[in-house]
Structure 1
Amino acid sequence: MAGSDSLSDAKRLLGRDPRGALAAARMAHARNPTPEAILLLATAARRVGDAAQAAALLEPLAVAAPRAWGVHYELGIAQAVSGHEVAAMAALERAAALNSRATGPRHALRDIKALAGVPIDDAPIASLDDPRLQAAVAALLDGEESRERLLRDYGLDPDDAAAASLIAEIGIKLKRSAAVIALLARALALAPAYGPLRFRLAEALHRAERDEEALAAIQALAAEPAPTIVRALRGAILMQLGREDAALDDLAAVAEAEPNRATSWLAQGHALRVVGRRDEAIAAYRRALALEPALADAWWSIADLKTASLEADDVAAMERLSDAAALPASVRSQAEFALGRAREDAGDHARAFAHYRTANALRRSIEPHDEAAHRSFVQRMIATTDEAFFATRAGSGNPDPGPIFVVGMPRSGSTLVEQILASHRQVEGLSELPTITKLARTIPDYPAGLACLSPDTLTRLGSEYLATTRARQRTGACHTVDKFPGNAFHAALIHLILPNARIIDVRRDPRDTCVSLYAQSFAGGQSYSYDLGDLGRHYARYAALMDHFDRVLPGRIFRLGYESLVDDLEGETRRLLAFCGLDFEPGTLRYFEHGRAVRTASSEQVRQPIYRKSIGRWRRFEPWLEPLHEGLSTREF
């Protein structure tokens, strides 16, 4: 009876207290070593990090119970956690064959095979898209529910290696990367050799824009040559880190290994575009479309090159996509954006605008905009940062004069300004960094919380920013350019933590800026641009905030007009360089000859001499812009 009680205790404790379960299972096993007691003892041993003992117990049990799928599953995970992938795959194959409905064996087998470079079945695992399971995972990761529901309904223990990998995959899909990272850290402490956990960690870190850490995580996975799945993720991470040559090596190898996978060619096309290999990029996009004509991302990518022409057959194919109601809104919206660009290039502005309007409506349906939150943010920033606020904090922060911030609205000319600056021998362009936004998120009750930061904290935050930029630098340049436009809303934070940094606010005619935003398919993060009224009001709040900083920090932010730069490139470039404390160099006027990678939507424009054709673009769509004009004229901040 006591042995039976110990067995019940082990079952009850397994998901809550693995060490308690191990003690109870040992007692039950000592009194009566039944197959069930052996399985529980092995499972508990693995859960506390002793995979070798678990495998030793399970190997003879698997021989004695050849049709017990749970035994083969546990054996496979124990062997995988111990680093014995070949044996693990054999055991998991057996478990999956014995119970075709069980998710655990199939998910673990797929992950282990992929990391071992073994061909895998691409058939989706239905449970990963199960809305009930996704809701349970989201609740767990959001801290709204204990693990009980996952254990009770799905048998998933978040601290168990295989279960944690499955939960993490769902969590990453649900954009809960920060919580996934914390969950994986606990699971890895018990199973550091289980490759799928480290892969998920690298993936989650990459999604959270912690790419240096992501690279370290994925580099620890396997010796070269790395399997395809590792090279694909590593290539994406390297692209984000600005290591384009290494990234292209990985992405080219992935496309060669998976020539029939459209997304492999799409990723290669994106990378080739960044480094300026336009014709090769178009060829890669078309290779992707030949394999998957419904890959709207590739259609938009070709259209967005602006120097590539779309044929009549291309337009017909995109129209079929946009009309396919069964396709996701994200796919249809990209097809509509691409059609808008094609119609605009052909001079059919009425139809072009209709496509843009449909594209934005589709995008808005899946990425709603919280205008009230943004209005409140700007109001609180203005209320917090008056002249006295800055005066009492003078002298705080890291005094390094190296950083240059190019801010403003997207599509205002910031990439052109960065390209000019990066053509100077003392400057390195780092593209759009998320660092300032990340630092802002660490400040409680931001932006009002700025008032609570001590001088030491401001200095520390400035030093953290510098450490991040130095890690990304590839040259010995003493100045770096961070051209993330959204940093305009964090100009106060930049000034406080880096008081000697240069801040350049690039302005373009607001109507041209907003129309360009409205006609652009962004990957995400620009939800205000999907409605003309929202877009106009967002721009008005940005301009009001910049006006506020001009009043409370006079002369701190350098204003550069895009149209003025086009009209007088040399004169405006000299003013720009003087503000940055740099001598004029003629090479900055030939910025388009600079061979650096460019990741933004303006990648092709900045590889050409300056031109005027984008000035006044808004006039093409003037009959339909009344909501934009109303938004731009708002004074409700």
Structure 2
Amino acid sequence: MSKEQAETSSNEQSNDPVKIQSAQQTIKSLISQGNFHDAINQCREHLSTQDNGTENNLSDKITFLYLLSVSYRLSGEFNKAIETNKQILTLKSSHARAHQELAYVYRNQNQSLQAAKHFYSATQINPALLSSWKALLSFYQDTQNLKAVKLAQGQIDYLEALPKPILHARDLIYDGQLYGADRLCRQYLQQHKHEAEAMLLLAEIGIKLKVYNDAEFLLESLLALYPEHKAGGLEYLKLLSKMGRFQAAKDCADTLLKAHPMHPPIVSAKASAMVGLGELDQAIALYQQLIDNTSEQAALYLLLGHALKAKGEFDKAISAYQNAYKQRADFGDAYWSLANTKTYKFSDKEVSHMQEQIEKQARQQSISQEQDHIDADDKIHFYFALGKAQEDQKNYDAAFDYYSRGNALKRSQLDYKPEIISQQVANQKRVFMPSLFDALKGCGCEAPDPIFIVGLPRAGSTLLEQILASHSKVDGTMELHNIMALVSRLRGSRLRGSRLRGSRLKGTHLKGARSSEKGQAYPDMLEKLDPQYFARFGQQYIQDTRVYRDAAPFFIDKMPNNFMHIGLIKLILPNAKVIDARREPMACCFSGFKQLFGEGQEFTYGLDDIAQYYLDYVEMMAHWDRVLPDFVLRVQHEDVLNDLEGQVRRILKFCNLEFEQSCLDFHKTKRVIKTPSSEQVRQPIFKSSVEQWKHFSEQLHPLKERLADIL
């Protein structure tokens, strides 16, 4: 065998998942036997042959590094253990057990404060790490921090009361092993039906897997069995808001408040639901009531600011955000929320404070309330806010550096795989062919009410929504989750004959969301679905979105991600209108890169990911143009800026609406707007953002190369 062949064979073995798993198990056995020398050697050997080219290989590398760090610690090589764990945290800042290992090492070296710092970090990332909580409890007792003692003891009592399989499952969830946790929960529920904590945990897994319909059913069942289950109720409230079901969330909060009067998290959840419903004055009053009656005010001021911003009261919103950071100096989200108004200019003092926060080192102080390091999420918020501050000051190199650091740190927290989106596009193109539309013609709900605005975030969709919502016959709503929820249901479904199992798919297994078996999962299963379901799905969509509407005959659904599911929209709502909000690729991608989203849009945290997503989007929209001619109207953002009236008339004609002057005077329309562009669309058209990316043309050269074929 040649040298090249030997190297190829070695690489293939090093990247064989079965052999890697076997090797890791062998090393664990060596550690448990106390054979640390051999464990260290085997870890080093496997690390020397690891290929870092894929996400799986990176995960394997981290696992080998973690086993190496444990072996170093147990063999007394503490400095090497520290360096190895720091290497892990460089690769994955949210690795709870690396923090726990560092804490063990520092404790062995009698550095109690450093140990406590890392035990604390471990519990913030993985609240199920019982040993870290117990170590913290001892530290808090020694330092006589009674408030922290109470908190730690409460968490210990909760974890120790959990059945061991459920505690283990919780641990697996925070470690990212969702399917292992799912399996443990289901096995436990087979023996202990209707056990509350297992049902709650299984629902949480469903939410993380975005199988929201299954999670909703589990939480509904949990609360039916245990109406006063506070944790289950709060999780249900979060899920309902995530799904955009704000009326249901408000009703649920009212029910829970009967059992838990004035419980702050429930009241806050009710206020959040009211913001979603547009009941802003009532929501603002609730937030203010909570602020007046609690010492934990920072997060409440932030939420109050969001509500005021949605109402268009920007001066008051800015004041609320400033009050939030005055309550907590390292509250990165408060600073980012100021930046996210898009028009706020930071003072030199605020910039200096943000820089100090992200650069501060360990100090000799208690960590129970004031951490001696800044949380990763706060650091991410500071990076993006500082990027905006430096860009406003025309310090473009510094701005790009901050944006890049924020994106890199955010990306390290995610499990985003761009190939999944590419595969979804391929699946959609394969299934949604003219033959399918011909076979199902006339099966959907005939209601013409919805106007879908799709595309990429930061492509000008909020402006189009504001223009249309200024028409007397059109209600503006928000980014509705209903189509995505339907897709989630279909992805999680299994066929029985040609019908779905129940209208709510209650019997589905969470793993169905990942099934790719032909004819069994979305979109393949549409070909075998009973045709009557398409009308039902359309009718259900109209019914479920009624709560977001007023009395106008038409309404807008501005969820950008719906571009992937235009074929499904055509099948269930054939008379709907779809508008593709398109923006020049470089401007759109860079705008996404410098935007920190509240949730979702995970493709935006790396230039290569953004480029691939944009290319997939263009490919998907080209397919819809071919198979559904004239169903989608493409509106170029730059054309709207250059010829507002011409484009407004074109859009209204497509939507079968008469021209109204109010659509040109869109900035005068008063309505709830919750997207980052909320302040911008309350002003007349301006073109300052068109060329912003060119200030960063050198740094964006790799992006330009990836997009070369469509520029």
Partner Cα separation in structure 2 for residue 189 and residue 240 of structure 1? 25
C-alpha contact (below 8 Å) 1:333/1:359 kept by paired residues:
yes
Matched, 1:359 2:406: yes
CA 132–305 in structure 1, closer or farther in 2 if over 3 Å, else same: same
Partner Cα separation in structure 2 for residue 615 and residue 458 of structure 1? 41
Superposed counterparts of 1:456-495, under 5 Å: 456-473=532-549, 475-495=550-570
Give the one of 126, 142, 156 matched to 2:155. 126
Superposed counterparts of 1:379-418, under 5 Å: 379-418=426-465
How many angstroms does 1:165 deviate by?
Answer: 9.6
Q: Tell which deviates more after alignment, 376-385 or 445-454.
A: 445-454
Give the one of 268, 285, 302 matched to 2:304. 268
How many angstroms does 1:382 deviate by?
Answer: 1.1
Superposed counterparts of 1:516-531, under 5 Å: 516-531=591-606
Show the counterpart of 2:525.
449
Structure possessing the higher relative contact order (Cα contacts under 8 Å, 6 or more residues apart): 2
Superposed counterparts of 1:269-418, under 5 Å: 269-324=305-360, 326-418=373-465
Matched, 1:545 2:620: yes
C-alpha contact (below 8 Å) 2:169/2:180 kept by paired residues:
no
Matched, 1:631 2:706: yes
CA 537–337 in structure 1, closer or farther in 2 if over 3 Å, else same: same
The amino acid of 1:520's aligned partner reads: Q
Q: SS of the counterpart of 2:416?
A: coil
CA 207–565 in structure 1, closer or farther in 2 if over 3 Å, else same: closer
Partner Cα separation in structure 1 for residue 230 and residue 431 of structure 2? 48
Partner Cα separation in structure 2 for residue 272 and residue 158 of structure 1? 45
C-alpha contact (below 8 Å) 2:272/2:283 kept by paired residues:
yes
CA RMSD between the two structures: 3.3
Matched, 1:213 2:248: yes
Partner Cα separation in structure 1 for residue 316 and residue 264 of structure 2? 22
Partner Cα separation in structure 2 for residue 388 and residue 122 of structure 1? 65
The amino acid of 2:563's aligned partner reads: A
Matched, 1:580 2:615: no
C-alpha contact (below 8 Å) 1:424/1:585 kept by paired residues:
yes
How many angstroms does 1:359 deviate by?
Answer: 0.7
Show the counterpart of 1:253.
289
The amino acid of 1:378's aligned partner reads: V
Show the counterpart of 2:580.
505
TM-score (norm 2): 0.67
How many angstroms does 1:166 deviate by?
Answer: 8.2
The amino acid of 1:213's aligned partner reads: A
Partner Cα separation in structure 1 for residue 603 and residue 648 of structure 2? 31
CA 374–172 in structure 1, closer or farther in 2 if over 3 Å, else same: closer
Partner Cα separation in structure 2 for residue 170 and residue 202 of structure 1? 12
The amino acid of 1:452's aligned partner reads: K
Give the one of 409, 428, 431 matched to 2:475. 428
Matched, 1:237 2:273: yes
Q: Tell which deviates more after alignment, 345-354 or 520-529.
A: 520-529
Q: SS of the counterpart of 2:698?
A: helix
Matched, 1:201 2:248: no
Matched, 1:514 2:561: no
C-alpha contact (below 8 Å) 1:418/1:429 kept by paired residues:
yes
Deviations 1:188-219 (A, max 9, x none): 44443556654443344334544333222221
The amino acid of 1:585's aligned partner reads: E
Q: SS of the counterpart of 2:478?
A: coil
Deviations 1:119-154 (A, max 9, x none): 9998354347898562267779953115888999xx
Partner Cα separation in structure 1 for residue 667 and residue 261 of structure 2? 37
CA 208–476 in structure 1, closer or farther in 2 if over 3 Å, else same: closer
How many angstroms does 1:411 deviate by?
Answer: 0.4
How many angstroms does 1:630 deviate by?
Answer: 2.8
C-alpha contact (below 8 Å) 2:243/2:481 kept by paired residues:
no
Deviations 1:420-475 (A, max 9, x none): 000000000111001111111222422233323332111111111101111221x2
Q: Tell which deviates more after alignment, 582-591 or 393-402.
A: 393-402
CA 146–484 in structure 1, closer or farther in 2 if over 3 Å, else same: closer
The amino acid of 1:432's aligned partner reads: E
C-alpha contact (below 8 Å) 1:423/1:594 kept by paired residues:
yes
Show the counterpart of 2:99.
none
Q: SS of the counterpart of 2:571?
A: helix
Matched, 1:558 2:593: no
Q: Which runs of 5+ in 1 are unaligned?
A: 1-100, 104-118
CA 201–122 in structure 1, closer or farther in 2 if over 3 Å, else same: farther
The amino acid of 2:182's aligned partner reads: G
Partner Cα separation in structure 2 for residue 307 and residue 143 of structure 1? 45
Q: Tell which deviates more after alignment, 611-620 or 384-393.
A: 384-393
Partner Cα separation in structure 1 for residue 200 and residue 483 of structure 2? 32
Show the counterpart of 1:145.
184
Q: Tell which deviates more after alignment, 357-366 or 163-172.
A: 163-172
Partner Cα separation in structure 2 for residue 168 and residue 535 of structure 1? 32
Q: Give percent identity, aligned residues only.
A: 33
Partner Cα separation in structure 2 for residue 120 and residue 238 of structure 1? 33
Q: Which runs of 5+ in 2 are unaligned?
A: 1-131, 135-146, 161-166, 362-372, 492-520
Partner Cα separation in structure 1 for residue 208 and residue 522 of structure 2? 25
How many angstroms does 1:169 deviate by?
Answer: 10
CA 181–432 in structure 1, closer or farther in 2 if over 3 Å, else same: closer
CA 562–134 in structure 1, closer or farther in 2 if over 3 Å, else same: same
CA 264–151 in structure 1, closer or farther in 2 if over 3 Å, else same: farther
C-alpha contact (below 8 Å) 2:589/2:611 kept by paired residues:
yes
Show the counterpart of 2:367.
none
CA 359–102 in structure 1, closer or farther in 2 if over 3 Å, else same: closer
C-alpha contact (below 8 Å) 1:159/1:183 kept by paired residues:
no
Q: SS of the counterpart of 2:182?
A: coil
Deviations 1:203-245 (A, max 9, x none): 4433454433322222112359744332111011222333323
C-alpha contact (below 8 Å) 1:262/1:289 kept by paired residues:
yes
Partner Cα separation in structure 1 for residue 228 and residue 455 of structure 2? 46
CA 193–351 in structure 1, closer or farther in 2 if over 3 Å, else same: closer
CA 220–383 in structure 1, closer or farther in 2 if over 3 Å, else same: same
Q: SS of the counterpart of 1:355?
A: helix
Deviations 1:467-492 (A, max 9, x none): 1111221x210000011111111111
C-alpha contact (below 8 Å) 1:199/1:217 kept by paired residues:
no
Partner Cα separation in structure 1 for residue 528 and residue 218 of structure 2? 31
Q: SS of the counterpart of 1:258?
A: coil
CA 485–140 in structure 1, closer or farther in 2 if over 3 Å, else same: closer
C-alpha contact (below 8 Å) 1:512/1:617 kept by paired residues:
yes
How many angstroms does 1:179 deviate by?
Answer: 6.3
The amino acid of 1:339's aligned partner reads: L
Q: Tell which deviates more after alignment, 277-286 or 222-231.
A: 222-231
Q: SS of the counterpart of 1:220?
A: helix
Partner Cα separation in structure 1 for residue 481 and residue 237 of structure 2? 18
Partner Cα separation in structure 2 for residue 174 and residue 386 of structure 1? 32
The higher radius of gyration belongs to 1
C-alpha contact (below 8 Å) 1:369/1:527 kept by paired residues:
yes
CA 308–121 in structure 1, closer or farther in 2 if over 3 Å, else same: farther
Partner Cα separation in structure 2 for residue 453 and residue 427 of structure 1? 33
Partner Cα separation in structure 1 for residue 482 and residue 317 of structure 2? 29
